[in-house]
Amino acid sequence: MPPEKPHWAHLLREVVRSGLCTGCAACVVACPHDVLQYDHERAFKPWKVEADGGPEDCTHGVKGCTMCTRACPRFRTWEPEVDTHLFGRPRAAEEVAGVARRTLLARAADPELHQAGQDGGLVSALLVWALEHDVIDAALVSGLEGDGTSWRAVPRVARTKEEVLASAGSRYTYSANTLAYREATEAGAERLALVGMSCQASVPAVMAARKAGKVARRLTLSIGLLCSKTFDDAIFPELFEARYGLRREDIAKINIKGVFQIWTRDGQYHEVPLKEGHAWTREGCLHCPDFAAEHADIATGGIGAFNDWTLTIVRTQRGEEVLEGALADGVLETRPVEDDPDVLPLLRRLARVSRRRWPEGADPAPRLLPATAGTGGPPA
């Protein structure tokens, strides 16, 4: 008797209910039968409709459909599969923050993009360049619900510079940006960039490695955001407002640099200790081992000494081509990563912290390899 092909029942048991699910919604987007839905409120997890096998099984899966498991970036041996697909080999012990072709500091040369973006506007500049040079048709990003004062992050599609500017900045509450896929494709987009936290940034490579159909072919560029965690929306009323009197509608900008940095619309600046936010850590982040967006084409993050420069890690040939094109057209400014001697040790330290979250009993590959199990270890 042939072995059973993994489908929703296996994904539900091994990922969704085990605590490995990050809420990236890749399974929902990839499902060709529209039987998977998504909880946008506090769970941020997929669920299955009552039809076609009920919430715990899937008649399509029983008949051979494996698309949801092929799309999931936490299902079984995901890390070595994706590493091998992207880089021709699994990561080495010293590559605790993933495989890198090139690392530098970068920011947008356009003052408008620089000011609107987080940490120099690099991601915005890359998206605008890719849109204007026919590299992509649209980008799957996040925006703020309504007029922005709710600070609730929601998936958005960006097709123009104006729409990229509207999505600029960081939220720190979760948005499954993959869910903007349908809106983008229904409007005719065939080549999509996905911008998202580390868990989402793995989705295009996972789908490509496992041959997840037309969705995989359309996700042509992945820009990952370095991410240690995101927070439940309740952090606004229960921490920022209740303890510090900071109402969400009065907040103009948020950043994290060892503390919550909060700027209010009246021009004032406030700091909230980061450790006070731990209780509002989103469930999907508790076991995520990937701080450094290790399977993105380009990984980016505002860590290090410079507030208006972005640590930029080019991981793939596709990422190299996009970065080089943007540099050739003068839309980026760069400086050597050596200008900030502490940033790569910080990257490796944060990557180790995240890798230690990966639970025993799950596939062992994402855990720290022996050479980097200590606090020292060789450089990435």
Phi, psi of 83 (to 5 degrees): -55, -45
* Residue 378 is assigned to a structural domain of this protein: no
Over the chain (380 residues), the average pLDDT of each successive run of 10 is 82 96 97 94 88 96 97 96 96 94 97 89 97 98 88 94 92 92 98 96 97 95 95 94 96 90 95 95 94 98 91 98 98 97 97 95 88 43
Q: What per-residue confidence (pLDDT) applies to 377?
A: 38
In 3D space, the residue among 322, 378, 293 whose CA is nearest the CA of residue 126 turns out to be 322
CA–CA distances in Å: residue 170 to residues 58, 152, 248, 328, 354: 37, 11, 14, 27, 20
- In a shared domain, residues 174 and 271: no
In eight-state DSSP terms, residue 330 is: T
- In a shared domain, residues 303 and 363: yes
* Residue 247 is assigned to a structural domain of this protein: yes
* Residue 54 is assigned to a structural domain of this protein: no
Q: Which residues pair with 47 in a beta bridge?
A: 37
* Residue 152 is assigned to a structural domain of this protein: yes
* Residue 27 is assigned to a structural domain of this protein: no
- Measured CA to CA, the distance from residue 165 to residue 121 in angstroms comes to 9
Q: Give the total number of structural domains in the chain.
A: 2
- In a shared domain, residues 360 and 215: yes
- In a shared domain, residues 330 and 246: no
- In a shared domain, residues 154 and 124: yes
Query: CA torsion angle for 258, 309, 119, 239 (degrees, to 10)?
Result: 0
* Residue 157 is assigned to a structural domain of this protein: yes
Q: What CATH number does the domain containing 261 carry?
A: 3.10.450
Host domain of residue 242: 235-280
- Measured CA to CA, the distance from residue 143 to residue 121 in angstroms comes to 15
- In a shared domain, residues 321 and 253: no
- In a shared domain, residues 239 and 288: no
Query: CA torsion angle for 352, 223, 319, 344 (degrees, to 10)?
Result: -30
Last residue of a domain, one of 280, 309, 337: 280
CA–CA distances in Å: residue 267 to residues 244, 259, 262, 264, 362: 16, 18, 10, 6, 47
How long a stretch of residues is the chain? 380
- In a shared domain, residues 338 and 262: no
DSSP 47-64: EE-STTT-TT--HHHHTT
Phi-psi region of 373 (alpha: psi -120 to 50; beta: other; left: phi over 0): alpha
Last residue of a domain, one of 251, 280, 309: 280
In eight-state DSSP terms, residue 134 is: T
Tell me the two tokens of residue 136. 């992509």
- In a shared domain, residues 120 and 243: no
Q: What per-residue confidence (pLDDT) applies to 147?
A: 84
- In a shared domain, residues 256 and 203: no
* Residue 188 is assigned to a structural domain of this protein: yes
* Residue 57 is assigned to a structural domain of this protein: no
- In a shared domain, residues 169 and 291: yes
Q: What per-residue confidence (pLDDT) applies to 371?
A: 60
Contact between 95 and 344 under an 8 Å Cβ cutoff? The reply is no
- In a shared domain, residues 113 and 208: yes
